[in-house]
Structure 1
Amino acid sequence: MVKTSQSARRAAQLAGAVAVLGLLTACGGDDSAGGPRTVSGTASPATDAATTASASSTATGTGTDTDSGSTTGTATSSAHPADSATPAATRTTETLVVSGSRCHTSELRASVGRNDPGAGQENFPIVLTNKSGRSCTVRGYPGAAFLDASGKQLGPDPKRSPGTVVTVRLAPGKSAWAGLSFANPEISGAHTATPASLLVTPPDERDPLKVKWKGGKVPVSGNESSVRLIPFSPGTGA
């Protein structure tokens, strides 16, 4: 099997997302190939169940994971359930433990990786790193918005591109990345602005993280001004 770098994989994911932009509506959707799945890699796979939530917005990241927390229950079974005469001493008691609740904003650190341009597109990884002392999960799309120096949003909310939605389990210190891309304004002719920061909201959270933007001008209006997001994957996208 030929090995490829994370940068090559990231570019391939983002290029695939750009190819189907014409199929999107303004509200986007959680398109997944073959349905949600759990993956391994830089981050370990999650074990908790997941449900699909509502569309993303600037204030709230869009995930499909439930925050069930860690719960413990007791289930009693018998080798002969229909036999009421089976002695209680022969029955088996099992303890069921459900773990891996979602990562909360306070447990995460956000950053923006280097641009990986290609095919007239500017492609940046939005990276969330688990800074807490426990393992937790992220799933779905982040919320994102460009801000000027006064904190005013520049341009409309980014739109979601189709992608495979997976639950990424983050051990302490591990990261997940989501792609942010837009057409190069010099090629598209879109009206631009230079943001001071990027507001990032983790999936299913309301509290955002602010990251200094060093990526230069971004499209905010006019032709080809849409900014697109792809869902989180394990690693940093580097």
Structure 2
Amino acid sequence: MKKVHKPVLVSGLVALGVLGLGACGGGDGDAQAASTSAVSDSPGATTTTGSNLPTDSATASDTAAATPKQGSTDSPGMGSDCTTDRLRAGLEATGQEMNSKYFDLTLTNISDGSCALKGYPGLSLTDQNGDRIGKPATRTQSGAAENVVLKAGEAAHAVVRTPDKGVTDGKCWPQPARIKVFPPNNTASLSADPAGLQVCGNSFTVGPFTAHAN
């Protein structure tokens, strides 16, 4: 009897081992599939994954200008990074001084909660067809960017400057139809009225965002 049951016992153990290996293999596969889904479906994945960044050279240069010199910091009470869909762009002429024209570029928080901006915007001018005019604005490099926390309805401000037409012998870019703005650390843009802005002398600069207009 022992010789008859001994092979049966071994076969049962082998069968259990095969079933156990099959169960482990299936569990690993399910975990891997869930992990892949979590990565691909996570909010903001398209703005942080290198392969999903814009490949157009014009857009790439604009978004490069929008990347802050120091990364935005999330901390309790400071607000998460402002994403493009939570903002509205605007431009307003603020006057003329020392042969230069100044404009106030604003990004207003139109969401219900707080968010934060830190760094420089990517800024360029476009014609009626949406094609870019000239080059994107360069940074003023006037100092370290501050972390600007915006409550609902509040705006951050950046100074835009270009020489007056009269001191450049009329050497100016074509009058733009719109301005194109990339918030810091974002690859999606906003559009706004140019408010009479016309770049002259091939000089077009923008400062970092601050909590108050300068």
1:27-176 to 2 correspondences below 5 Å: 57-60=61-64, 61-63=66-68, 64-66=70-72, 68=74, 100-164=79-143, 165-176=145-156
Correspondence for 2:209:
232
Correspondence for 1:179:
159
Q: Residues 217, 98 of structure 1: CA spacing in aligned structure 2 closer, same or farther, 3 A cutoff?
A: closer
CA distance in 2, matches of 1:168, 1:152: 31
Shift, 1:193, TM fit:
1.1
* Residue-pair matches, total: 151
Letter in 2 for 1:196: A
Shift, 1:131, TM fit:
0.6
CA distance in 2, matches of 1:202, 1:112: 14
Larger RCO, structure (CA 8 Å, separation 6 or more):
1
Shift, 1:163, TM fit:
2.0
Shift, 1:170, TM fit:
0.5
CA distance in 1, matches of 2:167, 2:197: 15
Correspondence for 2:177:
196
Shift, 1:180, TM fit:
0.8
Structure 1's unaligned 5+ residue stretches are 1-55, 71-96
User: Is 1:214 aligned to residue 191 of structure 2?
Assistant: no
Letter in 2 for 1:162: Q
Shift, 1:99, TM fit:
5.3
Shift, 1:191, TM fit:
3.0
Percent identity between the two aligned chains: 27
1:115–1:215: 8 Å Cα contact kept in structure 2?
A: no
Correspondence for 1:23:
none
Letter in 1 for 2:71: D
Runs of 4+ in 1 over 4 A off after TM superposition: none
Instruction: Give the number of the structure whose alpha-carbon radius of gyration is greater.
Output: 2
| RMSD after superposition | 2.0
SS at match of 1:117: strand
The normalised TM-score by structure 2 is 0.65
Shift, 1:115, TM fit:
2.9
Shift, 1:98, TM fit:
7.1
Letter in 1 for 2:172: H
CA distance in 2, matches of 1:142, 1:154: 17
The normalised TM-score by structure 1 is 0.59
Shift, 1:207, TM fit:
0.4
